Structure 1
Amino acid sequence: MVSQDGLTAFLLAAELGSFSAAARRMEKVQSAVSTAIANLEIDTGVTLFDRSGRLPVLTDEGRALLPYARAISLGQKELMAKAGSLSEGIEHRLSVAIEQGLSLPPVLDALAEFAQTFPTVELELLSPGMNDTPELLISGRTDLGLMTEQESYPLGFQFRGVGHAAHIIVCAPEHPLAGAQPVGLGALREHRQIVLHSRSQGRDGAVLAAKSPMLWEAENPNLIVEMVLSGLGWAELPYAVVHNQIAQGKLIRLATRFQQSDDLAGVDVVWTERRGLGAAGSWLRDRLMALPQDAWRG
């Protein structure tokens, strides 16, 4: 078996160009480094350095084995880092459900910090439809959720409001509603509405969100954007999903003659007592809860 000292001495001597420099870096005497490399040569059956000159020079065999030695050394470091994480109660893997349509920049900022803080934790990101996150938590498919708020959650759920996401009404520039602003409910009812559909709530969720009797439904907000761009109807969508198209003039934000009490939808971080969060999950939950309240408006 290849010894860690022999591997480290080989890598450092190759990088620094001398056994004495490798010894200083390892805080060992030079003879110990020379012995470690000699033992590694015995174990591998090849000469790693040409020692005929003033300084050791990698042989062809040494250069060929160097990438493999680096890979082994990195794997050993990763092994020890993972073992250390597990011994400290840091979970091996974390699954997070982020509802489609939520603003992603604040999430990405938190994930960048997460990657630095927990480099050994495997992370899975799911992208459920509106209000489908609770089912994933109940089934144990995910550990932590970020979703549009519900009026009530199942027994055993914990949640914390972290901000609000703006929902706005949009249509294509060529749609009849674009030239009739501000629009009233009567005008909206004369045209097809494409509603964001929740698989877990069934058609009831779509009907509750309806302002028009003519409904099409889809569970992916990006698909609805494409349908609206094609002139198939108007839609009420999270601002984070459509702000680029509005800025580019591809979609029109409709002003209304009526007051919309639901134009700001709450955003919740959700988890369940049935599936306890480890150190990494708790850190990410707390980090999301600490983000500025207006970060979710897109």
Structure 2
Amino acid sequence: MLLDAFIADKKKLVEQRLKQLASSSSIPETLGKAIMYSIDAGGKRLRPVLLLAVMETFGCKSEKGLDTACAIEALHTYSLIHDDLPSMDNDDYRRGKLTNHKVFGEAFAILAGDALLTMSFSFIMDDSSLTSDEKVKVAALLSKSAGPLGMVAGQAEDMEAEGAELTADQLQSIHEKKTGQLLQCSVLAGGILSGASDQELKHLKAYAHAIGIAFQIKDDILDVTGDEATIGKPVGSDEANNKTTYPKLFGLEGAKKELTRYIGLAKKELSEIGHDTRVLEQLADYIIARNH
């Protein structure tokens, strides 16, 4: 299957299931609308697609990982709602739509994020297709990846770094946590649910680390060269917020070379896995080619 068709197929599955899992007539009306507003905003769905791609790479039916994929996407959506708040990045647009707090107000945006964060774990724990051991492993992985040693740590360090002159190592450390941890969680969860060996998980983790850094480098490049209508949010926000970025440290061409280098490292790790990894390789290339 061509990559575009693979992504479209998995996105459709994830979006349908995510809406089912996140909607309930018992949720207060305004809160429910705020939750569904951000779920319906769309997006690349790269994290759940990666999880499902890993499972199929290891010969496992991806349906088994669908609710876990939705859990990771729900948690990612919460992080975007909170990132956009005036007290953090103060963004008015996300994916071409007004941000959650611009529509529902700060209080309901915070609550919608809180709801998505907490319900993500119930998606995993209520999944009857998983064993108790699998539930514990993927829920623990998601908690560590998203918490104060993972994504939240990266968000905190990113805020503290505004206006500071960072080294390349410091910048990488932030993005390994803020962006890389949840991508890594997606890849490793797919490996866990498909019975990958410890050695295979090691290579998957290194692959995910490399594409996580590459993803952020590409984001930094798009903030300089991207088109606002295509990206769905204003460009140049990193410079406006006085943030250190890869183009700022390496220059635009240097950042592009770093992007290519990390994609090469990711593919090298895949070559050590004794399975057909073509879809995972194509997903690495997709990170370079994307325009939003």
- Give the TM-score of the pair, scaled to structure 2: 0.20
Which is higher, the Rg of structure 1 or of structure 2? 1
Identify, as 1 or 2, the structure richer in helix.
2
Identify, as 1 or 2, the structure richer in strand.
1
